[in-house]
Amino acid sequence: MVEVTVHHDTVVFTVRGLHKVLAFKSELTVPRSHIIGVRHDPTAAQRLEGLRAGGTSVPGLVKAGTFYLDHQASHKPMFVDVGNAANLLVIDLRDEEYQQLIIEVEDPVAAEALLATSG
């Protein structure tokens, strides 16, 4: 699970608990201006097939880390941290290492509202 916090013009995505180990990453920091879209999308968990470039994939349980997903036209990786698809948030980025963050958050509706109003 990932915690989302906004600090002025920066958004910090903090990977919590065991997921830090599974994802090989504990935190991502993104300028707010680089976030071009945010949506609560539980169905995105059905489109997570692709090449794992560092992280963990246990079908039906967890997918965490850096992935190149089959359905993406871009050659940029996605950061994925998903255990419970019902709480999935998809964040589209520009000018960043990752094209998207596909993350599980505690309250996707609240996180989506926070990111939509923080700009």
Q: State the average pLDDT over residues 37-50.
A: 89
Q: How far apart are CA 23 and CA 64, in angstroms?
A: 4
Q: State the average pLDDT over residues 49-59.
A: 86
Query: pLDDT (tens digit, 9 = 90+) per residue, 6-38?
Result: 998 999 999 998 988 888 999 999 999 999 999
Distances (CA, A) of 58 to 23, 44, 64, 92, 109: 12, 17, 9, 24, 26
Structural domain boundaries of the chain?
2-117
Residue 95 CB neighbours (<10 A): 9
Single out the residue of 30, 51, 43, 50 nearest to residue 101, CA to CA.
30
Provide the pLDDT for residue 74: 66
Single out the residue of 79, 74, 6, 95 nearest to residue 44, CA to CA.
79
Helix (H) or strand (E) holding 72: none
Residue 103 confidence (pLDDT) above 80:
yes
Query: pLDDT (tens digit, 9 = 90+) per residue, 66-96?
Result: 999 776 666 789 999 999 999 999 999 999 9
Structure-model confidence comparison of residues 78 and 52, the more confident one? 78
Strands (E), 10-83: 10-15, 27-31, 35-40, 50-58, 62-69, 78-82
Provide the pLDDT for residue 3: 97
